[in-house]
Amino acid sequence: MQVQVKPEIQRLETAIAASQNYLLSLQHEQGYWWAALESNVSITAEAVLVHKIWGSDGPRPLHKVEPYLRQQQRSHGGWELYYGDGGELSVSVEAYMALKLLGVPADDPAMVQARRFILHRGGISQTRIFTKLHLALIGCYEWQGLPSLPAWVMLLPDFSPVNIYEMSSWARGSTVPLLVVMDRKPIFPLAHPINLDELYAEGRANAKFELPRNHDWTDIFLACDSLFKIAEMTQLVPFREEGIRAAERWVIERQEATGDWGGIIPAMLNSLLCLKALDYKLSDPVVERGLRAVDHFALESTDQYWMQPCISPVWDTALVIRALAESGLNREHPALVKAGQWLLEKQILDYGDWSIKNKRGEPGGWAFEFENRFYPDVDDTAVVVMALAEIVLPDGSAKKTAMERAVRWIQGMQCRPGGWAAFDVDNDQEWLNAIPYGDLKAMIDPNTADVTARVLEMIGRTEITTGSASVERAIAYLLQEQEPEGCWFGRWGVNYIYGTSGVLAALSVLEPARFTVPISRGAQWLVRCQNSDGGWGETCQSYNDPSLKGQGESTASQTAWALIGLLAAGEATGTYATEALDRGIQYLLDHQAEEGTWNEDYFTGTGFPGHFYLKYHLYQQHFPLTALARYQAWQQQQTP
How many Å separate Cα 495 from the centre of its chain? 13
**Helix, strand or coil for residue 261?**
strand
Where is mean pLDDT largest: 160-174, 329-343, 463-477? 329-343
Q: What is the pLDDT of residues 528-572, one digit of tens each?
A: 999 999 999 999 999 999 999 999 999 999 999 999 999 999 999
Q: Is the pLDDT of residue 4 over 70?
A: no
Q: What is the DSSP letter of 294?
A: H
Q: Residue 285 pLDDT > 70, yes or no?
A: yes
- Asked if residue 445 has pLDDT above 60, the reply is yes
Q: Are strands 305-307 and 298-300 parallel, antiparallel or unpaired?
A: antiparallel
Cβ–Cβ < 8 Å for 274, 180: yes
Identify the pLDDT of residue 2. 42
d(CA 108, CA 18): 46
Predicted local confidence at residue 218, as pLDDT: 82
Distance from chain centroid for Cα 166: 19
Cα 485 to Cα 495: distance, rounded to the nearest angstrom: 14
Q: Which is nearest to 449 in space by CA: 502, 382, 407, 494?
A: 502
What are the C-alpha distances in Å from 25 to residues 330, 355, 595, 615? 16, 39, 11, 21
Q: For 571-616, what is each residue's pLDDT tens digit?
A: 999 999 999 999 999 999 999 999 999 999 999 999 999 999 999 9
The CB-side HSE value for 513 (13 A sphere, CA atoms) comes to 0
Phi-psi category of 185—alpha, beta or left, where left has phi over 0 and alpha has psi -120 to 50?
left
Distance CA 203, CA 195 (A): 13
d(CA 469, CA 472): 5
First to last CA, the chain: 19
pLDDT (0 to 100) of residue 640? 61
Looking at the predicted structure, is the pLDDT value of residue 382 above 60?
yes
Q: Which residues touch 100 (CB under 8 Å, ≥6 apart)?
A: 106, 111, 194, 196
Cβ atoms within 10 Å, residue 601: 11
Name the percent of the chain lying above pLDDT 70. 98
209-223, 284-298, 452-466, range with greatest mean pLDDT: 284-298
Contact 149, 167 (CB under 8 A): no
Choosing from 225, 379, 445, 450, which is the catalytic residue? 379
* Residue 331: pLDDT over 70: yes
Would you say residue 1 has pLDDT above 60? Answer: no
What is the three-class DSSP state of 7? helix
Burial label, 463 (beta-carbon count in 10 A; 0-12, 13-18, 19+): exposed
Q: What would the DSSP string read from start to end of 533-599?
A: TS-B---GGGGT-GGGTT-SS-BHHHHHHHHHHHHHHHHHHS---HHHHHHHHHHHHHH--TTS---
For residues 205 and 264, give the distance between their C-alpha atoms in angstroms, rounded to a whole number.
Answer: 36
pLDDT, greater one: 622 or 513: 622
Taking residues 375-399, report their average pLDDT: 96
The Cα 272–Cα 255 span in angstroms is: 11
- Do residues 327 and 628 touch, judged by C-beta distance below 8 A? yes
3-state SS, one letter per residue, for 39-51: CCCHHHHHHHHHH
466 band by pLDDT with thresholds 50, 70 and 90: low
pLDDT attached to residue 453: 98
Is the pLDDT confidence value at 5 over 60? no
Q: For residues 190-196, give the mean pLDDT.
A: 95
Is residue 395 annotated as a catalytic residue, yes or no?
no
Residue 3: pLDDT band by 50, 70, 90 thresholds?
very low
Q: Is the confidence at residue 107, as pLDDT, over 60?
A: yes
